């Protein structure tokens, strides 16, 4: 082989190697690993089956799955110090609205989802996309109670239902439930709570059962508290209760529940934001929504997924007509306006 031929072959080999490296680098750049933060527990398990594993199977990158308890202070600290390490975070609607107003989240173009008519009303927000509908409801262990409670007035009746009660440690939900226990009609709750008198009334009602409350902060806790007998009733996320009903006698009272979306949001300044948006759109596809809702009793945000679900699952879904009839829609605007001051008052009250 001549020196000239050998030189050409060597040059060609280097070009091919360079091309291969370039393609590998491009592929690596496109396959961004995403850190996705959820509320953990059965919800995270369903997300893993419906979203994380199928996404990884497409070869677009790995999902690094973390969890938190909804602390917006963590997100704010990362954004303020320009040290954002999360790509996506699951947030409840009031926190989404407040975070959007405060510049904590990236705006999301709804065009990534296609036809907006395919989604439950409220799914698409300026800084986030709802990916399921859930309810915070009253739950109880039917093995521990002789009669079934019917509403929040029974929750407050410690004579008829003696024992500890579980409530989420925060103003949101807790104040609404207190007013309903005090006789306020579900549709009037936010009108009353928007007044100084209504707020005082809610805290006064909470005073009645304060010694009987066992607070919870993570969604996995109420089923544990109920199963162990630590509490006789508890507020809880409906999907967490449905997830353990096969091996327990935990039951749901839909009357007086509060329904809302959980949404994906991208912290301001997150790297690989385009990949994060692509992942959001992926999780809202009918098939992914179907798998998610088949693994936890939360309603799909994509209406096309509903027809893919086993009809038997409907009885556990918060959006079923019978279940939603006497529930309250979370008033996002109210909590965006009043949330900070009411949470501060609640924390001071709880610490007394």
Q: Which pLDDT tens digit goes with each residue over 93-119?
A: 999 999 999 999 999 999 999 999 999
**Chain mean pLDDT for the chain:** 90
Residue 211: per-residue pLDDT: 97
Residue 319: per-residue pLDDT: 81
**What fold does the segment set 135-258+326-351 form as a domain?**
D-Maltodextrin-Binding Protein; domain 2 (3.40.190)
Whether 135-258+326-351 and 27-133+261-319 are alike in CATH topology: the answer is yes
pLDDT beyond 90 at 36: yes
Residue 315 pLDDT level (bands cut at 50, 70, 90): confident
pLDDT beyond 50 at 203: yes
Residue 321: per-residue pLDDT: 80
Residue 32: per-residue pLDDT: 85
Residues 6+ apart with CB under 8 A from 215: 166, 167, 168, 169, 350
Q: Where are the domains of the chain?
A: 27-133+261-319, 135-258+326-351
Residue 138: per-residue pLDDT: 98
Class of domain 27-133+261-319: alpha beta
Q: Which pLDDT tens digit goes with each residue over 263-310?
A: 999 999 999 999 999 999 999 999 999 999 999 999 999 989 988 998
pLDDT beyond 70 at 188: yes
Higher pLDDT, 317 or 51: 51
- How many residues are listed for the chain in this entry? 352
- pTM for the whole structure: 0.78
pLDDT beyond 90 at 170: yes
- The residue-averaged pLDDT of 250-254 equals 96
- The residue-averaged pLDDT of 309-329 equals 86
């Amino acid at each position: 082989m001549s020196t000239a031929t050998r030189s050409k072959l060597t040059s060609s080999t280097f070009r091919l190697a360079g091309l291969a490296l370039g393609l590998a680098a491009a592929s690596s750049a496109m396959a961004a690993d995403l850190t996705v933060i959820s509320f953990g527990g059965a919800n995270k398990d369903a997300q893993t089956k419906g979203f994380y594993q199928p996404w990884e199977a497409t070869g677009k990158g790995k999902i690094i799955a973390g969890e938190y308890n909804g602390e917006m202070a963590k997100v704010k600290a990362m954004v303020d110090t320009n040290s954002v390490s999360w790509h996506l975070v699951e947030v409840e609607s009031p926190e989404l609205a407040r975070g959007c107003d405060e510049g904590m989240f990236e705006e999301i173009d709804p065009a990534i989802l296609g036809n907006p008519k395919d989604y439950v009303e409220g799914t698409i927000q300026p800084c986030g996309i709802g990916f399921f509908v859930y309810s915070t409801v009253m739950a109880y262990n039917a093995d521990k109670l002789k009669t079934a409670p019917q509403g929040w007035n029974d929750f407050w009746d410690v004579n008829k239902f003696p024992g500890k009660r579980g409530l989420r440690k925060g103003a949101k939900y807790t104040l609404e439930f207190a007013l309903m226990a005090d006789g306020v009609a579900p549709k009037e709750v936010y009108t009353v709570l928007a007044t100084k008198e209504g707020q005082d009334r809610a805290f006064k009602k909470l005073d009645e059962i304060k010694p009987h409350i066992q607070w919870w902060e993570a969604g996995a806790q109420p089923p544990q508290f109920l199963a162990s007998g630590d509490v006789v009733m508890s507020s809880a996320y409906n999907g967490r209760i449905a997830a353990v009903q096969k091996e327990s006698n935990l039951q749901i009272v839909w009357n007086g529940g509060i329904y809302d979306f959980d949404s994906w949001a991208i912290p301001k300044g997150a790297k690989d934001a385009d990949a994060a948006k692509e992942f959001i759109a992926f999780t809202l596809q009918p098939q992914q929504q179907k798998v998610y809702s088949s693994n936890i009793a939360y309603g799909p945000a994509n209406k096309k997924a509903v027809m893919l679900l086993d009809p038997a699952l409907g009885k556990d879904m918060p959006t079923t007509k019978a279940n939603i009839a006497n529930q309250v829609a979370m008033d996002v605007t109210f909590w965006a306006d009043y949330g900070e001051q009411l949470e501060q008052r609640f924390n001071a009250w709880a610490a007394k």
